[in-house]
């Protein structure tokens, strides 16, 4: 796997938080392209079930329970992966703490902030520290940092998701820094910003149910499927794009947002 374009046959791919949702769809699609999948999730039974379903469909996958907020569990995952695969070619950081915080800034206790940052930011850092040194040593590999369209194109739903959006903004900074650090050492970096995506069978989203999208422009409130989001990521990996975003019209919206000096109160999407 080069830092420019990525092909997947026989590649060793580790995805965190892939027992369900977007991570699961990415795992299924990459397995169908011939990749060997490691599905790591806090939900160990879900990770095992996802891997078993991929194997039943003819793919190659194993499941591991791993809480990315635990140094010990990430170390144990790294040891198991090293023993079985000898390293990882593509690391997709995707796991996320439940995004909804109980209300506005004056009503969120510090534990919620700590938890969001420990999983969503330091969880990614733990995984990078565990798997990127091997990539650097081999001079090849690729990492995906999953942020959110809300981090590059905010809307008023973010007022109800403050620890989440703070963590997703931090991941922009992480991806920017890595994009200077890693490619000269043979490791590519992709910043993945999914747009609103339904991870439910009924096609709905919790943030819509809770009314967080009331007053948000209709252009960004129609949820995509996980299959669509996964397809956008895989196409972006293939093309070597740094930013991969599955929100329709995102490039034009970014230009409009920039023209408004990144003032979120403006009209840009
Ligand atoms: N769904 C959306 O609308 C949307 C929009 C923008 C960005 N995203 C991002 O895409 C990624 C996937 O989102 P999703 O909606 O599919 O999530 P999801 O909630 O459906 O799944 C998240 C997975 O992460 C796992 N997880 C939670 N805590 C963990 C931990 N400590 N260690 C390991 N695994 C853990 C969960 O068990 C679950 O399987 C996330 O990074 C999310 O922020 C999603």
Provide the pLDDT confidence category of residue 167 given band limits of 50, 70 and 90: very high
Hey, how many other C-beta atoms are within 10 angstroms of the C-beta on 68? Answer: 28
In a domain, 266, yes or no: no
Q: Is 188 helix (H, G, I), strand (E, B) or coil?
A: strand
In a domain, 33, yes or no: yes
36 phi/psi in degrees, rounded to 5: -100, 120
Spatial strand order in the sheet of 12-16: 60-65, 36-41, 12-16, 90-93, 141-146, 187-193, 243-245
- Over residues 9-49, the pLDDT tens digits come to 999 999 999 999 999 999 999 999 999 999 999 999 999 99
- The pLDDT assigned to 80 comes to 98
Range of the domain at 226: 12-259
- CATH number for the domain including 248? 3.40.50.720
Q: How far is the CA of 243 from the centre of ligand 1 (A)?
A: 19
pLDDT of 101 > 80? The answer is no
- Write down the pTM of the prediction: 0.97
Q: How many structural domains is the chain composed of?
A: 1
- The pLDDT assigned to 104 comes to 87
Nearest CA to ligand 1 atom 38: 17
In a domain, 195, yes or no: yes
- Over residues 204-216, the pLDDT tens digits come to 999 999 999 999 9
pLDDT of 242 > 50? The answer is yes
- Over residues 42-73, the pLDDT tens digits come to 999 999 999 999 999 999 999 999 999 999 99
In a domain, 243, yes or no: yes
Q: How far is the CA of 21 from the centre of ligand 1 (A)?
A: 7
pLDDT of 4 > 50? The answer is no
- Residues lining ligand 1, CB < 6 A? 16-17, 19-23, 41-43, 46, 66-69, 94-97, 119, 123, 146, 148-149, 194, 196-197, 199
- Over residues 102-143, the pLDDT tens digits come to 678 999 999 999 999 999 999 999 999 999 999 999 999 999
- The pLDDT assigned to 249 comes to 96
6 phi/psi in degrees, rounded to 5: -125, 125
In a domain, 71, yes or no: yes
In a domain, 1, yes or no: no
* Burial class of residue 80, CB neighbours in 10 A (0-12, 13-18, 19+): middle
Q: What is the chain's mean pLDDT, rounded? A: 95
Q: How far is the CA of 95 from the centre of ligand 1 (A)?
A: 5
Pocket mutation for ligand 1, best pick of 19, 21, 222, 232 (most atoms within 8 Å of C-beta): 21
Pocket mutation for ligand 1, best pick of 96, 146, 196, 236 (most atoms within 8 Å of C-beta): 96
Q: How far is the CA of 173 from the centre of ligand 1 (A)?
A: 19
Pocket mutation for ligand 1, best pick of 15, 16, 22 (most atoms within 8 Å of C-beta): 22
Q: E strands within 161-215?
A: 187-193, 197-198
In a domain, 267, yes or no: no
In a domain, 265, yes or no: no
- The pLDDT assigned to 116 comes to 96
% residues pLDDT > 70 (the chain): 97
- The pLDDT assigned to 1 comes to 57
Q: Which residues are catalytic?
A: 164
Q: Atom of ligand 1 at shortest distance to CA of 17?
A: 24
pLDDT of 239 > 50? The answer is yes
Q: What angle separates helix 21-32 from helix 226-239, to the nearest 10 degrees?
A: 60
Q: How far is the CA of 205 from the centre of ligand 1 (A)?
A: 13
Range in 1-5, 151-155, 192-196, 258-262 with the lowest mean pLDDT? 1-5
């Amino acid at each position: 796997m080069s830092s420019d374009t990525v092909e997947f046959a026989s590649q060793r791919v580790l995805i965190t938080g892939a027992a369900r949702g977007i991570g699961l769809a990415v795992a299924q699609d990459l397995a169908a392209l011939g990749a060997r999948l490691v599905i790591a999730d806090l939900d160990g039974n879900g990770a095992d079930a996802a891997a078993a379903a991929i194997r039943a469909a003819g793919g190659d996958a194993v499941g591991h329970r791993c809480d990315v907020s635990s140094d010990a569990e990430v170390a144990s995952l790294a040891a198991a992966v090293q023993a079985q695969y000898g390293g990882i070619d593509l690391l997709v950081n995707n796991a996320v703490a439940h995004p909804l915080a109980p209300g506005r800034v004056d009503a969120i206790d510090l534990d919620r902030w700590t938890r969001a940052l420990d999983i969503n930011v330091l969880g990614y850092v733990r995984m990078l520290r565990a798997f990127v040194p091997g990539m650097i040593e081999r001079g090849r590999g690729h990492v995906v940092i999953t942020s959110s369209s809300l981090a590059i194109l905010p809307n008023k739903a973010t007022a109800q998701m403050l620890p989440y959006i703070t963590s997703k903004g931090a991941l922009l900074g992480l991806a920017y820094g890595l994009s200077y650090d890693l490619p000269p050492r043979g490791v590519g970096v992709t910043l993945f910003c999914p747009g609103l995506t339904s991870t439910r069978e009924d096609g709905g989203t919790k943030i819509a149910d809770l009314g967080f999208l009331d007053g948000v422009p209709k252009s960004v409130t129609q949820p995509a499927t996980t299959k669509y989001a996964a397809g956008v990521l895989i196409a972006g990996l293939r093309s070597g794009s740094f930013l991969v975003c599955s929100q329709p019209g995102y490039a034009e919206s970014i230009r409009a947002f920039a023209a408004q000096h990144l003032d979120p109160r403006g009209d840009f999407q």
